[in-house]
Structure 1
């Protein structure tokens, strides 16, 4: 019987539920201990007796959870060949992508089958290319390649919005072959950047016709991954960067996103209050990819040997826009350009205007986009950058 992905998918969900139950039990136990033994107050023998009995209960819960989880996991492994195929519907792919965005680094470290392995798919999703591919099975390919890179918690389906797909429409209009990247957005941006660098190098090696040019359009976090990939490609003098002619960034948080900075402040507050310290663990389950969005980390040196949950300022390494590549940036704003500056600066509700345009109060950190290569899309939210017809028209004007 042919192998399918149903078994691993269900195994991944089971392992995640098991880990979630164990983690929740630890938090509840810690909260229980804090309540029974108030900070700065002496504990009585009765209080110690209560926590001792409760500790036995919590240990039994965790032991039972592990036993049941392992039993289900083994059963699913044996039953995998006999289970029906669960197709990659947009809803299923979205669920897995969101889990990867929030917990992706954890999934990868624990070898959870839900962890997405980086690959490129064609518009029909019937062919994929990864770093180990020995040949390209796509037909009727063009020498001009268009790479579409999604953002945090995203996937290749996200480009399909309101019966429109920027990538497919541009490829048809300008005689290109569109490829859509899938990756684990919960891993560090720099880790995905290194992987994308290797994948694009493999791509030009196996591409069945001479590569004329590579254009990359990225949304949100995808822009940071793209910049990271080029950085590592340049360090290794890889061939694909010589073919890369244009990069377009849609709502990319080049200098970080305010929501992650708020989350970092909240972590610190919860941690220093004795009764909420256990709850602070919940905030720290968020992935390395998400914490990279605090200031727009691009390279490994931005986070290596540092506590990513520590409250600290912007300590990024300066990574300029690629030399020899025409770079463009589109920022969304929910209002109009005629609105008050304070309203305009808030951007598309997820990424501020200045961050999306690469502008920073420190001139050394500002990205030098040419003014003619930047554009502001009015009355556009972060997700609407993927479907807005005016955004598409601007993209098309830059593709000429």
Structure 2
């Protein structure tokens, strides 16, 4: 074992090792660097977007305005949330360094802030750091902690384990905590997600997944399948039914896992339903626009530097351009080529029912405005599934992309679809 020296901190509060001190100092530097990088990306993004929309307006006139407004809304909120999260994370890192390695407080609030910071960074460039210790692995999560996939750990995490399992797979730059967005609370003060409601209402066990959203969807899909298979083998009692629920990119990961079921894998036969919420099956308009902008900037020497910045975005982001599911959809092709290389045939297992829920920010989901704006992230058409002839789809007006994560109307649809009693709950807090 490697030797490690210890010392008292500068206020005499206890022994800390040199390794802890170094880790805290490195964490401080990393936090500051990431915050600076995010600010630079925000400024570069804003400048590039203004230039790009200016060029587009010359050709398309006022038709560009709704797209620009939508883009500005998404970018403002995304960078605003990221900035607040990174500020909290940087403060925590600096506190750790100033106390010469004192361990960070192990509260759930701190864990959530750090988790959100890491998720944001990994979404932007997660494939570049996939082999580093800081990269998320495909894991089960419950009550803010990893759950090892062993019989003993699953029994401890799920003392009331059921025979029906529902897996929840979050979207881009997210964690499992996103399912608690604006959640109502039960009598014990716990925030209620769809999974907690299902557990309270019926014979279900809810399993939340965390993963590196910057990796390719095909990679995450394969890893999700492996995880589900291990859970089925280690579950404390025989599993009778599996349902997969995915939000945004999470829906692509769900369907990628189904298209990569290994021959003879028992878990594939147990899946009865998928439910996806705002999933860009046919691509995300913003990512397509960034791809075209990158190509345009690359043509001119004066803007080639901007193209290099945009090109650095992760493979996971680029999979959102067309809704890639398999490696064949992108392998061997220019990752920044706007062309759609997806394979047409999708051999999903025939026994599985699919429901695709699409939200629209307009009250009337069938209006022309709803077709243009969608849920402000994914278009109405893109979110309605891969096969309109065999899949069920539903439009919900007045529900934006993030609302889909925890909304009474969405839960009512989910409960009805799966035969779960829809328990009345207090209105979600703002």
TM range (shorter): 0.7 to 0.9
Q: Which residue of 1 aligns with 2:282?
A: 255
Change (3 A) 1:9 1:357: farther
Partner of 1:216, secondary structure, is: strand
Change (3 A) 1:171 1:228: same
Change (3 A) 1:247 1:307: same
- Distance in 1 of aligned mates of 2:108 and 2:376: 30
- Distance in 1 of aligned mates of 2:135 and 2:31: 11
1:216 equivalenced with 2:244 (yes/no)? yes
1:374 equivalenced with 2:402 (yes/no)? no
Unaligned runs of 5+ in 2: 1-14, 45-96, 185-192, 420-430
* Contact 2:165–2:204 under 8 Å retained in 1: yes
1:185 equivalenced with 2:204 (yes/no)? no
| Displacement after TM superposition at 1:208 (Å) | 0.7
Q: Which residue of 2 aligns with 1:100?
A: 122
* Contact 1:230–1:322 under 8 Å retained in 2: yes
1:159 equivalenced with 2:187 (yes/no)? no
What does 1:127-142 align with in structure 2 at a 5 Å threshold? 127-130=146-149, 136=154, 137-138=156-157, 139-142=159-162
Change (3 A) 1:286 1:17: farther
What does 1:12-51 align with in structure 2 at a 5 Å threshold? 14=29
Per-residue CA deviation, residues 7-52 of structure 1 (Å, 9 max, x unaligned), is 8687567458669999x9xxx9xxxxxxxxxxxxxxxxxxxxxxxx
* Contact 2:221–2:260 under 8 Å retained in 1: yes
- Distance in 1 of aligned mates of 2:202 and 2:326: 33
Change (3 A) 1:265 1:337: same
Change (3 A) 1:17 1:267: farther
Partner of 1:277, secondary structure, is: helix
* Contact 2:139–2:146 under 8 Å retained in 1: no
Per-residue CA deviation, residues 112-133 of structure 1 (Å, 9 max, x unaligned), is x3211110123x2345135x88
Partner of 1:237, secondary structure, is: coil
| Displacement after TM superposition at 1:280 (Å) | 1.2
* Contact 1:333–1:380 under 8 Å retained in 2: yes
Q: Which residue of 2 aligns with 1:351?
A: 378
- Distance in 2 of aligned mates of 1:338 and 1:310: 32
Partner of 1:146, secondary structure, is: strand
- Distance in 2 of aligned mates of 1:275 and 1:133: 59
- Distance in 2 of aligned mates of 1:321 and 1:9: 48
Change (3 A) 1:296 1:216: same
Q: Which residue of 1 aligns with 2:296?
A: 269
Change (3 A) 1:13 1:290: farther
- Distance in 2 of aligned mates of 1:152 and 1:190: 14
| Displacement after TM superposition at 1:347 (Å) | 1.3
Change (3 A) 1:222 1:7: farther
1:198 equivalenced with 2:220 (yes/no)? no
| Displacement after TM superposition at 1:332 (Å) | 0.4
Change (3 A) 1:255 1:5: farther
| Root mean square deviation of aligned Cα | 3.2
Per-residue CA deviation, residues 252-304 of structure 1 (Å, 9 max, x unaligned), is 11111111000101101111111110121110121110100000000111111
Partner of 2:130, secondary structure, is: helix
Deviates more, 1:311-320 or 1:248-257: 311-320
- The two structures have a TM-score, normalised by structure 1, of 0.75
* Contact 1:189–1:292 under 8 Å retained in 2: yes
Q: Which residue of 2 aligns with 1:145?
A: 165
- Tell me which of 331, 335, 344 is aligned to 1:308: 335
| Displacement after TM superposition at 1:108 (Å) | 1.1
* Contact 1:156–1:180 under 8 Å retained in 2: yes
Q: Which residue of 2 aligns with 1:43?
A: none
* Contact 1:298–1:319 under 8 Å retained in 2: no
Change (3 A) 1:320 1:13: farther
Unaligned runs of 5+ in 1: 29-75, 360-365
Q: Which residue of 1 aligns with 2:103?
A: 83
* Contact 2:248–2:280 under 8 Å retained in 1: yes
CA radius of gyration, larger in? 1
- Tell me which of 200, 212, 215 is aligned to 1:172: 200
Change (3 A) 1:7 1:389: farther
What does 1:318-357 align with in structure 2 at a 5 Å threshold? 318-337=345-364, 340-341=367-368, 343-357=370-384
| Displacement after TM superposition at 1:327 (Å) | 1.0
Figure out how many residues of one structure are paired with residues of the other and give that number.
Answer: 336
